[in-house]
Amino acid sequence: MTANLLEFDLEGLAAFCAGLGEKRFRAVQLFRWIHQRGASDFGQMTDLAKSLRDKLAGAAHVEALPVISQHISADGTIKWLFDVGNGDAVETVYIPESDRGTLCVSSQAGCAVGCRFCSTGHQGFSRNLKTWEIVAQLWFAEHFLRRHLGREERIVSNVVMMGMGEPLQNYTALVPALKTMLDDHGYGLSRRRVTVSTSGVVPMIERLALDCPVALAVSLHAPNDALRNDLVPLNRKYPLAELLAACKGYLAHAPRDFITFEYCMLDGVNDTPEHAQQLIDLVAQHGVRCKFNLIPFNPFPQSGLVRSQAPAVAAFAQRLNDAGIVTTVRKTRGDDIDAACGQLAGEVKDRTGVGSRIAAQRRVVLHPRRQSTPEAAP
Ligand code: SAH
Ligand code: SF4
């Protein structure tokens, strides 16, 4: 089995090339061909010496994940379901807006945290994605969309690690993937435009600050430990006081001077004026500079939870804003294709009764041909 070069950040690729007896600038050229131009065929890389192309052909390949399906929402959001083998699949969502293109990327097949309001959490954990499987989502989306839309310039301007999985429970694979996104020879995304969203893996927040500081979003969802223990079980391990201290520490290294707190609005559970006041007190007590992003709960079967009423969401936002905490309400995108926050279920074996899901998705697939490279895509 040859190496999939999507696995390497630039340093990793330089080491791989050194193993082939090649200098670092060759690795830079190769990295640019792959990530900036979407090339997967070494024969195409005409400014590399023929001898290097021959060596690469024997030792390496560049391959994305097979696409199981692609759905396009009425609002332009696109969701891809990628096959990661063994009956597992992960989802990636592209969200176009007038001033940016955001790609929501998955880090795991399933998730072990098991938040009550999250469809990924309900299906359980299957496995960590490898670095190449994280990078392949961006590589495919960027180059597929460029070809599809006939554009030369960059399409994906922002990446949010808000797809399936808890990125900080897959730290070793995550960091080289982030580095590839940030690298000027790769996707050249600014640190402010790459966001890691976490349910609060405190030791890894501390490590990320040192290894690869990017924008941080923390899924808070509750203003006190009792409620958060129930909604986000990881809170029993890393309670709010530790989490907020880690957030404060992160700010010393972060590319932005605030943490984004995500808060999923659940009717009658965490959306009352008392909850808003507790939140205001909590962030004041810990002195964390933050913004809030309220996410109206996106329902899925078997959650047993209900989305907050729009007036309750508006009143909650108003209270936080009045207290000087900038608060926005996240627009729901792509819910007609089950691509909204918390609706990504992919397919994790069949342990949760979502077994017919891939079959159901296939019935509405737009481009049923399996593809593994952007070139091959329709
Ligand atoms: N595991 C990471 C990132 C993936 S979830 C995390 O938890 O932060 C991305 C965001 O969607 C998180 O804020 C998560 O809490 C939120 N979310 C999950 N399920 C949701 C649902 N059903 N409705 C609305 N938001 C949801
Ligand atoms: Fe995992 Fe995030 Fe879903 Fe919680 S909200 S189960 S951490 S993916």
Decide: 52 and 27 in contact? Cβ < 8 Å: no
In the reported structure, the alpha carbon of residue 342 is separated from the centroid of ligand 2 by a whole-number distance in angstroms of 8
- Look at residue 300 in the predicted model and tell me its pLDDT: 85
Cβ-count burial of 181 within 10 angstroms (0-12 exposed, 13-18 middle, 19+ buried)?
buried
Tokens of 331: 């627009």
Above 60 in pLDDT, residue 199?
yes
- Look at residue 377 in the predicted model and tell me its pLDDT: 40
Above 80 in pLDDT, residue 318?
yes
CA separation, residue 159 to residues 6, 79, 91, 217, 323 (Å): 17, 14, 14, 12, 30
In this structure, the residue with its CA closest to atom 2 of ligand 2 is 166
Please compute the mean of the pLDDT values over residues 33-40 and round it to a whole number: 97
Tally of CA atoms within 13 A in the half-sphere of 204 that contains its CB: 19
Tokens of 344: 């990504």
Q: Report residues whose beta carbon is within 6 angstroms of any ligand 1 atom.
A: 117-118, 162, 166, 197-199, 219, 262, 264, 295, 297-298, 341-342
Above 50 in pLDDT, residue 28?
yes
Give 231-296 as a 3 state SS string. Answer: HCHHHHCCCHHHHHHHHHHHHCCCCCCCEEEEEEEECCCCCCHHHHHHHHHHHHHHCCCEEEEEEE
Please compute the mean of the pLDDT values over residues 186-196 and round it to a whole number: 98
Query: How far is residue 199's CA from residue 229's CA, in Å, rounded to a whole number?
Result: 12
The amino acid at 191? R
pTM equals 0.92
Please compute the mean of the pLDDT values over residues 165-181 and round it to a whole number: 98
Cβ-count burial of 129 within 10 angstroms (0-12 exposed, 13-18 middle, 19+ buried)?
buried
Residue 347 DSSP label = B
Query: How much helix, strand and coil, in percent to the nearest 5, is found in the chain?
Result: 40, 20, 40
Digit-coded pLDDT (tens) for 66-93 = 999 999 999 999 999 999 999 999 999 9
Kindly identify the ligand whose nearest atom is closest to the C-alpha of 294.
Answer: 1
In the reported structure, the alpha carbon of residue 216 is separated from the centroid of ligand 1 by a whole-number distance in angstroms of 14
Domains of the chain: 3-61 (1.10.150.530), 67-376 (3.20.20.70)
Please compute the mean of the pLDDT values over residues 301-319 and round it to a whole number: 95
The residues annotated as belonging to the active site are: 91, 341
Angle at 360 between CA 355 and CA 362, to 5 degrees: 115
Digit-coded pLDDT (tens) for 100-152 = 999 999 999 999 999 999 999 998 999 999 999 999 999 999 999 999 999 98
Return the best residue to mutate from 271, 341, 343, 344 for the ligand 1 pocket (most ligand atoms within 8 A of CB): 341
Kindly identify the ligand whose nearest atom is closest to the C-alpha of 305.
Answer: 1
Query: Residue 332's pLDDT band (boundaries 50, 70, 90)?
Result: confident
